[in-house]
């Protein structure tokens, strides 16, 4: 989202305030108080809702927060953007209704930081890298633990960057770093690996592909939509090492097959989608959603539901942990 804002500013189409904007973009369940107030004040504005998750799959908790997001989407959003086809399909499965104005737009990384480099394999050992800010078990740590015990470390090196609940014996573990330092570390490695589950559109995977690293990714979530011919997909511990070796043996083939997620394409897609909804409203073929007394009552009911969901999720996490 920071990179998206930066590109909008570069194009001269970013408004400094809601009053000066034609389109308001808001994300998931964040800042819903502010979004509601702006929608109520500026009835003619077009509201585009960016939906992630479903959160019950990515976080492993209840569906309550997802249902709250769908309710906000129903009475505030004029258009909806999903990060991947997988994200859209899974949200529909658990209860979000399809609407007229929807789009699937993949994320992209900051091109000033994550730059593509053509390279040959490192001399000596082939260098693998994985990264995750989150230490959630669904980020692939079962697979990384397996690799820590079974990967041939006479041929490979592996580095993990981020927060890990696992102490590795053979994998080098680094603490979280900022984006520029992560890009520098990525450029020092050969192959990116991600085993994250139910990941709608992995920013970590996008950053690695943007740096020119072929990927070995779990066949799950939005990974297949990003990897394409730029790597291999695996299903479990049974085939992960086989897929790593396949990419290593055909390195330049996979590297040349990378389809880099470009911010220029992403920002253009966001802009064109928002413009479509806006022009239909100007042409009177679409009437922007309005805040009514009924939706106001629902809003305050949802605020209470959000608080309950947060408390429930925290307790649920505590019970699962201990």
Residue 117 lies in a domain: no
Instruction: Tell me if 263 sits within 8 A of 111, measured CB to CB.
Output: yes
DSSP codes of every residue in 273-306: HHHHHHHHHHTTSS------HHHHHHHHHHHHHH
The reported pLDDT for the residue numbered 95 is: 81
Domain match, 176 and 242 both? yes
With a cut of 50, say whether residue 97 has pLDDT above it: yes
Please give the residue that has the higher pLDDT: either 22 or 118.
22
Give mean pLDDT, residues 229-249: 97
The answer, as to whether pTM is greater than 0.75, is yes
Q: State how far the Cα of 23 lies from the Cα of 20, in Å rounded to an integer.
A: 9
The reported pLDDT for the residue numbered 313 is: 57
With a cut of 60, say whether residue 109 has pLDDT above it: yes
Strand runs labelled E in the chain? 23-27, 46-51, 79-82, 102-104, 126-132, 156-162, 172-174, 191-194, 215-218, 231-234
Residue 23 lies in a domain: yes
Domain endpoint, select from 209, 230, 256: 256
Domain match, 103 and 135 both? no
Mean pLDDT lowest among 67-76, 105-114, 198-207, 208-217 = 67-76
* Nearest by Cα to 300 from 36, 67, 24, 27: 36
Residue 149 lies in a domain: yes
Angle CA(134)–CA(140)–CA(145) in degrees, nearest 5? 110
Could you tell me the CATH number of the domain that includes residue 229? 3.40.50.2000
Could you tell me the CATH number of the domain that includes residue 292? 3.40.50
Strongest mean pLDDT among 11-15, 107-111, 244-248, 314-318:
244-248
**Domain that includes residue 279, residue range:** 2-108+264-321
Domain match, 132 and 241 both? yes
The reported pLDDT for the residue numbered 315 is: 45
% of residues, the chain, pLDDT over 90: 61
Give mean pLDDT, residues 66-95: 89
Q: Domains in the chain: how many in total? A: 2
Domain match, 91 and 33 both? yes
Domain match, 271 and 252 both? no
Domain match, 56 and 145 both? no
With a cut of 60, say whether residue 81 has pLDDT above it: yes
Give mean pLDDT, residues 241-250: 97
Please give the residue that has the higher pLDDT: either 292 or 237.
237
Instruction: Tell me if 155 sits within 8 A of 126, measured CB to CB.
Output: yes
The reported pLDDT for the residue numbered 255 is: 95
Domain endpoint, select from 210, 230, 256: 256
Domain match, 252 and 155 both? yes
Residue 116 lies in a domain: no
Instruction: Tell me if 19 sits within 8 A of 44, measured CB to CB.
Output: no
């Amino acid at each position: 989202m920071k990179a998206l804002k930066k590109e909008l500013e570069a194009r001269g189409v970013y408004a400094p305030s809601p009053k000066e904007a034609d389109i308001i973009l808001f994300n998931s369940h964040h800042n819903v108080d502010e979004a509601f107030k702006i929608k109520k004040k500026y009835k003619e504005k077009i509201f585009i809702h960016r939906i992630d998750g479903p959160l019950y799959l990515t976080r492993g908790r209840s569906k309550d927060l997802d249902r709250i997001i769908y309710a906000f989407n129903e009475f505030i959003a004029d258009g909806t953007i999903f990060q991947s086809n997988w994200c859209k399909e899974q949200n529909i499965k658990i209860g979000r209704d399809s609407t007229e104005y929807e789009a699937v737009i993949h994320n992209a990384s900051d091109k000033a930081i994550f730059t593509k480099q053509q390279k040959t394999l490192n001399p000596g050992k082939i260098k693998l890298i994985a990264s995750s800010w989150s230490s959630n078990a669904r980020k692939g740590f079962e697979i990384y633990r397996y690799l820590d015990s079974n990967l041939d470390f006479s041929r490979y090196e592996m580095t993990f960057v981020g927060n890990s609940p696992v102490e590795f014996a053979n994998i080098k573990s680094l603490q979280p770093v900022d984006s520029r330092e992560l890009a520098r570390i990525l450029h020092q490695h050969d192959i990116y690996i991600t085993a994250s589950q139910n990941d709608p559109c992995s920013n970590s995977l996008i950053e690695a592909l943007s740096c020119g690293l072929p990927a070995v990714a779990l066949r799950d979530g939005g990974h297949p939509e990003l990897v394409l011919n730029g790597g291999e997909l695996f299903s479990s511990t049974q085939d992960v090492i086989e897929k790593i070796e396949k990419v290593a043996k055909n390195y330049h083939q996979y590297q040349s097959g990378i389809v880099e997620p470009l911010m220029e394409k992403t920002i253009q897609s966001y802009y064109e989608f928002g413009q479509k909804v806006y022009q239909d409203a100007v042409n009177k073929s679409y009437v922007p959603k309005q805040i009514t007394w009924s939706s106001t009552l629902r809003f305050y009911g949802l605020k209470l539901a959000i608080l309950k969901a947060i408390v429930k999720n925290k307790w649920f996490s505590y019970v699962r942990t201990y």
